[in-house]
Amino acid sequence: MTITELNRKQTAYKNKLKKIEQFVNSFQYVDETKDCIELTSKLNSINDIIKELDNLLNEYCSLPDKVEWNNSLEILSDMEEDAEKFKVSILVFLSKYEEQKKENAKLSPKSHIKLPDLPLPTFSGKFQEFENFKTQFMSVIGNNDSLNESQKLMYLKSALKNEAALIQSDQDNFDSLLKALENSSFHNTKLHRDKTDVSISSTAEAFIDTAPKVNSEQCFALRSTDKKNSKPMKYLMSTAVAYVNGMPVRIILDSASEINFISSDCAISLGLKRNQIHSSVSGINGLAQDIKYETNAIISNKDNSFNESLKFMVVPKISSVTPSCNLDISKLSLPKHIKLADPSFHKPAKISMLLGAQVFFKIIKADQIKINDSITLQNSVFNYIVTGGLPTADDKLHCFLLSEQEGLENLICKFWQLQSLEDESLNLNSQTKLCEDHFVNNHRRDQTGHYIVQMAVLKEPSCLGESKQTAIRQLNSLWRKLEANPNLQQLYRNFIHEYLDMGHLEQVFEVSEPTVAYYMPHHGVLRPDSKSTPLRTVFDASCATTTGESLNSILANGGVIQDELFAILLRFRKNRIGLISDIKKMFRMIFIDESQRDLLRIVWKESIDDSIKTYKMNRVVYGTTCAPYLAQRVLKQLVMDDGHNYPLAASAVSSDMYMDDLLTGAADIYSAKQLKEQLIALLTLYRPVAVRTYYALSPPAQLQIVRDTGSVSA
C-alpha cells in the first residue's frame, strides 16, 4: 500500500473520531435504554478504530526506507490519544448507569428463601370477626386478578366454618355470597327486634331517623361514626436540621436507640472516614443485623453554641422519606417569632442521621409551647421541634423502621439483605482479585525502601512470538522523523539518557536471545505547550507479536482502586485551605522484579547510522495495562506499612489521591502545614517516591506555592 493510500485511510479515521468527539461533548442523560445502546455502539466503534490505527501504524512501518512520512506518525499518535480519551469518557457515562442498576438490584427483593404457605383466613360466623376476615380474604383472594369468579367462590366457601357455612345466597356466585355474609349477623352480636323498636346508642344518633324497622326474623348492625376523627392522624417524628463540617443534614431524634446512625450517602458527601468493624445491632422482636462500618463526626447547631463529637454506625438507609406524605399545615397557627428545628417538617424528605439516647436529653430543653390539642412545640438546641399529629388523607400507618404497608415477604427479603456497605474485597472482579492476590504474595521492598513488584499475567509469557524485528523497523522510521527535526531529536536523546542515568534502563549484553522476550516499539509526541514534559514518549506494549499476542493482551488489568474523581473533588471543596500534591515520575519509582524485565525490552541507537542496541526496563512502564494498578497499589501498601507514623498523611493518601495527584486540605493554617510535612515525610522517608507540593490559602490571603519539596530518587 502506498503512502497516499495510508494517508487517505488516516484521514477517514480522523473524521470518524471527530464525529465521536461531537457525540461525547454533546451527550446528555435522557433515556437509560436508548443511551446505553448508543454508548455501547460508540464504544465498539472506538475499539475498532484503535485496532485499525495500530494496524495502520504497522503498515506505515512496513514502507520502504526512502518514503517520506512527513508528520504522519505524529498525527497518528495524537489520534490514538484522542481515541483513548473518548473511550474513557464513554466508559464514565456507562458506569453511571451501572451504578444505578446496582442500586436498583440492592433494593429489589432477591430472596431465595421458600416461605411457608399462608393459611387461608376463615370465618366462623362471629360478627366482630367479619371485618378482619373480609380485609384479609379480599387482599389474598378477592382482589387477585389471576383467579376467576368460580375459583374465588370455591375459596370463599372453603373459608366459611360453623354457622357461617349455613349462609345461603340468592345466586351461586362469589359477589352474591359475600353480600349475604355482610347482611347477616349472629347470636352473640346481632340486634333483635321482637315486636319492639331497636334502641340505638348515642354514638349512632345520626342513624336513628333512617334505621329500618326489623322483626325477630331480621337483624342488622350499625357502625358508629365519630365526626371528630373522620380523618386518620399522621404523627410527626422528631426531625431537625443539624450541621456537620458546616453542611446541613436532616436528623431524627430517637431516645429509644442506644446507637447513632448515619446513611452511607451522607457519610460520603461529608467526606467522613469509615472504619471497618464487625458489630451486630438488634431491634424490634430481637432481630439482629450486622454493621460493618463506623465513622466519627461532630454535630453542631447553626450558631455552633452546641456541638458534640459522636460515633455513628454506617447503614445504606436509615428510613424511608419522613413524613410519608405532604401534610396540610395551612390551618396550623404557629407563632411567627418561633424558629423551627426543621422548617420543612411537613414535607417528605430523606433522613441522613439518627441521634440516639446518648445525646437525646442533651438536645432537648425544658420549655414547650402547646399549639392545640394535637400539636406541641418542644424546644431544643436546634430550635423548636414540632411534635404531635396532623390529619391526613393517607390512611396507612407507619412505624419508623418498619412500615405497615410493607408485605411480609418484602420485609423478610429486605431484612436479610445486609444493610451495610459491602466489604470492598467482595466486589472485586476476577482480574482485580487476581492482581490483588498476586501483589500481596509477590511484592517486597529493598534496603533503600523501593517497592519491587511483579506484573500479574493471564497467560504464560511463552505464548508471545517474535517482536524484535517490528521494534527495529519502527525505530528506523522514528529516526527518519528525528533527522528531520533536530529539536525533537535532542529531546528524545535527553529522554533516553535520563532513563540510563537514573538507572531505570539498562543495556543488555548477551550472545543469544532469551527464550521469552518482548520488545516494545516507542515513539515521541511533541508537546511544546508543556514546560515540564515537552516530549512524551509512548511505549507500545499493545504491539502484536508473530503469534498475534502482545504484552498487554496477557497482562491482568487490576482496575481502579482509588476513589472516583467526582467524590474527591467534592471532599476537596469543603476544605477551607486546599492542598495539592503531585508525585513526580510515579511509575518509575517502582521496580519490576528481575524475572520479568525481559518482557520490557526496547531497541535504541544514538544516530540514524549507528548500530542498534538492546535495553530493558527495570521500572514500571507507562503504557502497560497493569501500570496504573501497580502505582495505586504501592501507594496503598505504603500507607499500610508506614502510615501509622503519619496519620494525617495516611488518611489523605488513602482517600484523596487520583493517580499521581493529591487533592486534599485542612480547616486552618496549622493543620495544613502539619499535613504538608507529614505528606513529604511519608512519601520520601524511604525514598519510594518524590513529591511536588503546592498549598493555597482561601481568599483573601495570597496564594502561596512551595515547589519541588522532595527530590527525585533513583
Residue range 35-55: average pLDDT? 84
Q: For the segment 550-607, what is each residue's pLDDT rounded down to a tens digit?
A: 999 999 988 888 888 888 888 888 888 888 888 888 888 899 999 999 999 999 999 9
Helix, strand and coil percent figures for the chain, each rounded to 5: 40, 20, 40
- Give the separation between CA 466 and CA 400, rounded to whole angstroms: 68
- DSSP secondary structure letter of residue 284: G
- Residues 373-383 have a mean pLDDT of 91
Q: Give the Å distances, CA to CA, from 194 to 41, 185, 209, 211, 215.
A: 84, 16, 19, 16, 6
In contact, 452 and 446? CB cutoff 8 Å: yes
Range of lowest pLDDT (90-99, 396-405, 675-684): 396-405
For domain 432-686, the CATH class is alpha beta
Greater confidence (258 vs 712) lies with 258
* CATH 2.40.70.10 describes domain 233-391: yes
Q: What is the Cα–Cα distance from 500 to 684, expressed in whole angstroms?
A: 22
Task: Quickly state the pLDDT bin for 110 (edges 50, 70, 90).
Answer: very low
**Residue 136 pLDDT more than 90?**
no
Q: How far is CA 42 from CA 30, 36, 84, 99, 542, in A?
A: 17, 10, 12, 20, 21
Domain boundaries, the chain: 3-100, 120-167, 233-391, 432-686
At 121, list the grid cell: 383466613
What's the rounded Cα separation, in Å, for the pair 82 and 68?
Answer: 25
Rounded to 10 degrees, what is the CA torsion of 201, 204, 206, 208? Answer: -50
- pLDDT digits 0-9 by tens, 198-224: 333 333 333 333 333 333 333 333 333
**Which is nearest to 472 in space by CA: 112, 4, 62, 41?**
62
Q: pLDDT tens digits for 283-293? A: 765 566 778 88
For residue 591, what is its C-alpha cell? 521496580
CA–CA distances in Å: residue 15 to residues 49, 89, 129: 11, 18, 77
The pLDDT of residue 68 is above 70: no
Three-class SS of residue 661?
A: strand
* No. of helices (H) and no. of strands (E), the chain: 17, 23
DSSP state of 520: -
pLDDT digits (tens, 9 = 90+) for 522-556: 988 877 777 777 888 889 999 999 999 999 999 99
pTM here is 0.43
